[in-house]
Chains A and B, each alone.
Chain A
Amino acid sequence: MPKHSNIKKVLVIGSGPIIIGQAAEFDYAGTQACRTLQEENVEAVLINSNPATIMTDAPMASRIYLEPLTPETVQAVIAKERPDSLLATLGGQVGLNLAMTLARDGTLERENVRLLGTSLDSIEKAEDRERFKQTMEEIGEPVPESAIVSGIEDALRFARSIGYPVIVRPGYTMGGTGGGVAHDDETLTEIAAKGLTYSINKQLLIERSVAGWKEIEFEVMRDSADTCITICSMENIDPVGIHTGDSIVVAPTQTLSDKDFRMMRQAALSIIRELAIEGGCNIQFALHPYSSQYYVIEVNPRVSRSSALASKATGYPIAKVATRIALGYTLDEIANTVTGATTACFEPSIDYIVAKIPRWPFDKFTGAQRSLGSQMKATGEVMALGRSFSSALLKAIYSLEANFTGLLMESFRAIPLPDLLAKIEKADDERLFLVAEALRRGVSIEQVNKITKIDYFFLNEIAKIVSLEETLSQLTIDNCQLSIPKTAGFSDFQLAHLLNTDETVIARKRREQGIIPGYLMVDTCAGEFPAATPYYYSSFGEEGESRPTDADKILVLGSGPIRIGQGIEFDYCSVHASHAIREMGCQSIVINNNPETVSTDPDTSDRLYFEPLNIENVMSVIDQERPRGVVVQFGGQTAINLAKPLLQRGVAILGTSVEDIDRAENREKFDDLLESLRIPRPKGNLAHSHTEARGIAASLGFPVLVRPSYVLGGRAMEIVYNENDLTDYLAQAVRVSPEHPVLVDRYMLGREVEVDAIADGENVLIPGIMEHLERAGIHSGDSIAIYPPQNLTPELINTLTEYTTRIALALQVKGLLNIQFIIQDDQIYVIEVNPRASRTVPILSKVTGIPMVKLATLVQLGQTLSQQGYSGGLHPKPNLVAVKIPVFSFNKLTDVEPSLGPEMKSTGEVLGLADTLPEAMYKGFLGAGYRIPQSGDILVTLADKDKEEALPHLARLTELGFGLKATNGTAAFLRAHGLPVGEVRKIHEGHPNVIDIIRNKEVVFVVNTLTRGKQPLRDGFQMRRMSVEFNIPCPTSLDTLAGLIYAIEYAKTLSESTPTRIWALQDAVAPQTKAHADLNKG
């Protein structure tokens, strides 16, 4: 059936901010959806609160609403735009939930909006636990048996009837508190008794445990003509028990016989058929390792993280095809753009192995429990393709960018064997390496299988890598036949480590021997048809098929996996760089390894190389393609770190020179630069030893800000208040050495401001200045940021502009530049200069209409700003206020400290856009998922240093009709200052205490500021955690509280007759065309 002719205008719902479990994959899906709608001449209206996405770029849809993803806002967008249809299956769970709400409350019917693709009934069948169970039973697909019980006897009776082990889940507790796996009557009695005390409704869910079974996933598609196909099968190396998002996953399945494979495939197709999905669907199974018994674990009736992975793994663009299916096309009417000759109606066949490894945030959350289970903890993932299991796995490991020497972690050599085995049993993010270490020590594969339930196949493959490592470590560069480890996927870096030589020696030697990788195509069809999509991966020992052209080519380095501190915004920049290169008539080549992103959509570039972003793999691509130069400014620290080694190997780095990058990043050179420019910065120095560090701190006076040089997202950055804390820091957080010095700076409690600029060597264009709501001490990525600045005098703005211009010119910046300033007593200090794209580039590009990445890219290709129609100086501010609010994933990481500091903790962000600050703040908080209270009680516990300053805020809250509750110290202080306050017990003082009143929802938010020093107060920590778990706002800085008060004040002005207004980006910001820019010049 061709496209439904009555679809003219479609509302697309995005997935909002990046949080754990919902990352860049939905920007990829949404972007593909918007592009497809354009190709089909359907008008797209988009709503998404996440400004760092490609899908929210003005050209992606005719109307873009950067608005909170709430039912009210979507209703308002529908009322204003009058779309005839809604596409909701590409915006993750957020989009799906919104669509369900609007369908159930009658909005869609009332407004005549048709839900495209999968019907509401189908979505509910898949989402509603009971209906799902019933549906599966009807078609004979087994789901794990389960029952809800309210007593121990019932629990035992049910468990005996289905057999052990069983999972116990207490009703309505957070983070699975009080649950567990019971293996017999005795353990069940114990767990059930405990669970019943935790359970709020005094009920327990008892379910058959399939932990340890094989976890198999299928990506399937169905169209309205009931044609069903499977796109990709996947097998988790980590068996059931670890969330698939936290599992190492391979595609296709490796250990299933054809018979079992077909059984699972058949089940997947029956399920998608019965659910009548129109579009894509992800189905997860548990398959018994020693029989063909299986259970259906989960069905996602929408495009998911796994479908992004499956798309990149096979080359089959699931989101694009799902969009066309939603428009009414059938699979056979949709072209397979990869081959250009066949249709989308086929099942991809691949001739390589795909490995996906999650990227966890434990480098940031050093104190967090690293154990993995049913709650996903990873922020991102990497994917690699190889012609052997080992090469796929090893390339995926290198893509994690931790300078991994393959499966070998030297630090594990010291772990005593019993501890090693215990760690393996617990299953954490390092398990793969721990397993390798155990095998290296001679632990049998049988024993590891017994502990981990990881299939023998995978353990054998790991053992093969370990044994090759061991063989190599007995050899030298002279007697080692390099082709063997290279074909197995060993990196030069790893080989250098094993053969006790230098990476460059290995690289030279293997090149001399002609051992270079071939590049093979991802073509959806295992070579059966010629492919038109230039999407490649490397393989040693095989004939390559990438045929470089003579065109003028530019290489863009991507930013790798999404992690805290290096998020989707750098993918946004990489994508724009690629587009700008193509607009200039050059060919763009992208290297990246993140399967979730738009940059790894083969449509984004002329050539995509899915490879680790390390010097070896990047150089190999360069040797193959011979590009004119490399663009390193857009891929975050990952890309910029490669600039120097690339230059050393004779590669042209476009834009700001490597020497100048170094002048910005090397502390001593940077100090000299600022000195010569007479621009102040907080006093401080570089310490190469403990003694030096203590000396510097003493001369500056505490508190001092300490951090390693070359940091990403403030990793290991801390404010240190005394000598003891400094000693602890130096002992625990960093290893200080002459090669790895530590920065010790005076800590200034000022207003933070950041500036992004584009420079061409002559002119410096400053699209905008962003002011942080929170004072220095909170990482810029975690601060609420406001554009344009609200509290800066024209003089200060002039000085900021002038400093920025001076620095950019002095550093001979060609491209982007980001500077962080601190303002104390009207004096401006420079904190740091990043000679690359920053986190705020997407936001400023959107709110100013200046295509910052495009300008910066063209500058790097040789065009000046004036040739592009722009001049220097600060761009005039528009008539709007934009507020960026960070979004955290603390509810997924149950033991992480939610208070903010110099170390970045947020995973994503939203933008609030309005014409006044309070409204923008309100929208921002709403978009970030806060429930903004209008009345109720507030729990306040303050550090002594903050009490005085908090008074006006708390007084204002009292005026607004809120009640205050506090523990005795704070309460006494507030009473003494005339504020009415109720007293609450501290935790050790009995019940009801601070925790109880949060749990019982007796307070609408919590204000808790930290006492000085690092050690979190147990009471405070527990209060903050409890607030996170009950989704109650808990500002830990008075500045954030001030922002929240703005939002509350604004919310009070709202009524049914005057709701919040919604803005389409196209209305708020006029695109900066050349004519516009010329006007600005005058």
Chain B
Amino acid sequence: MKTHLCLADGRIFAGVSAGLAGETSGEIVFNTSMTGYQEILTDPTYSGQIIVMTYPLIGNYGVNKEDRESLSISARGLIVREICPQPSNYRTEQTLHRYLVDQGIVALSQVDTRALTRHLRLHGSQQGLISLDDDFDRLRARAAALTPTPTPDLIRGITVSARRDLPENPAGPRVALIDFGGRDYLINALHALGCAITLLPPDSTFNDIRQCTPAGVLLSDGPGNPQELPDICRTITQILAQSLPLMGVGLGHQLLGLALGGRVRPLIPGHRGANHPIRGGGRIHITAQNHGFALEGPFTEGTEITHIHLNDKSIEGLACPSRQAFSLQFVPDTQPGPHTTHYLYEHFRDLLLQKGYASHA
């Protein structure tokens, strides 16, 4: 079915419906990963976004239950050049098309994704509307009127709504994991390290945190703009004041940066893909990323920049040793992506176990 994407700036791309036929809107972002479409679709940090895959053939190995990052798709839509109708892999359970339909996701194929990507690179990520409507004037007017979903709304629905103590490793050091949506990798990593975990909703106060008597706090990744979450920033300032071990990843990293006096700026284009080179800890790592904002200094005294992005030199890691806090823009050892940054979790564990602050820079 002939379907169109209309960007907020009025540019229209034609395609055909490849998932649920219908309408959707959201922030249009491109991802340069060549594999991992299922992981990306089910990554909660894509909440509110319509993902453009730059690799033109998507769905080759189908979809299975094992590889999903969460039970449902958080992204609002998918845009591809071509969707593979007959996937081939021994673990295939469903075609991507079937999966999208089942999940109620609107998707578009046969789109000139290269031109769309170049447009987004030049003009930045923006809101867009996928619709069956072929009245272009009406489409443009509607797309222009789209406003970004407020970050609290993006997060609501993908996080826990109340405190939850996970049963694993009850005797281990307890981590208060403040969940902005991207909790799953972190839970696995912390469990593997022998930590006990208390999940807390994103609007938790310092008091809520203190009540779980954690050995440390972990701020998870999540979607959106950290500036739209001022309350949690205040909470982080309080955690810092107590020098409680604190680790932030993704959105959590940006929140820590704000609490340390920094600012965020939008990235044009955002970092979305599995090939982002990061320098830090005396090494270079290729990381998977999904974010549209980057931190900028100056930060309060005692804050160190520990990791930078090799391409645009943006800040990818911070540390405030005197406060036992550190953060990373990327989620160490995520899927899809390489596994070379596990040492960062170990560093956090060492902080939790009061081994003192050894520079991980």
Contacts and interface: CB of A to CB of B under 8 A. Distances in A.
B163 interface: no
Interface stretch (A12-20, A224-232, A722-730, A806-814): A224-232
B36 interface: yes
Interface stretch (A166-174, A345-353, A778-786, A845-853): A345-353
A397 B121 CA distance: 34
B228 interface: no
Contacts of A226: 283
B336 interface: yes
Contacts of A290: 90
Max chain A CB contacts within 10 Å: which of B61, B112, B114? B114
Contact of A252 (B34, B112, B113, B336): B34
Contacts of A1030: none
Interface string B325-350: 00000000001111110000000000
Contacts of A341: 311
Max chain A CB contacts within 10 Å: which of B67, B90, B273, B284? B284
A528 B112 contact: no
B117 A527 contact: yes
A266 B339 contact: yes
A352 B84 CA distance: 15
A343 interface: yes
Contact of B337 (A254, A256, A262): A262
B279 A265 contact: no
A529 B310 CA distance: 13
Given A258-B336, A351-B117, A389 B57 contact: yes
A347 B310 CA distance: 12
Interface string B106-136: 0000001111011001000000000000000
Interface stretch (A92-100, A539-547, A555-563, A763-771): A539-547
A542 B273 CA distance: 23
A237 B115 CA distance: 29
Nearest to B60: A254
Contact of A257 (B33, B67, B279, B340): B67
Chain B: interface residue count, which band? 35 or more
A100 B74 CA distance: 56
Given A229-B286, A290-B90, A351-B113, A258 B339 contact: no
Interface stretch (A136-144, A193-201, A453-461, A875-883): A453-461
A346 B277 contact: yes
A637 B348 CA distance: 66
Q: At the interface, is chain B mostly helix, strand, loop or mixed?
A: loop
Nearest to B285: A227
B103 interface: no
Nearest to A389: B57
A258 B39 contact: yes
B114 A527 contact: yes
A528 B37 CA distance: 18
Interface string A524-541: 011111100000000001
A255 B92 CA distance: 11
A255 B57 CA distance: 11
A278 to B, nearest CB: 15
B198 interface: no
A542 B56 CA distance: 12
Nearest to A530: B121
B89 A255 contact: yes
Nearest to B270: A528
Interface in A210-268: 225-227, 229, 252-259, 261-262, 265-266
B161 interface: no
A352 B339 contact: no
A342 interface: yes
Interface string B69-110: 000000000000110101111110000000000000000000
Nearest to B117: A527
A580 interface: no
A261 B54 CA distance: 18
Interface in B247-276: 269, 273-276
Given A346-B286, A388-B56, A255 B61 contact: yes
A539 to B, nearest CB: 8
Contacts of B310: 332, 342-343, 345-346
A291 interface: yes
10 contacts: A225-B283, A254-B60, A255-B89, A258-B36, A266-B338, A346-B276, A349-B33, A350-B55, A460-B88, A527-B114
Which 3 pairs, one residue from A and one from B, show the smallest C-beta to C-beta distance? A258-B36, A457-B88, A526-B54
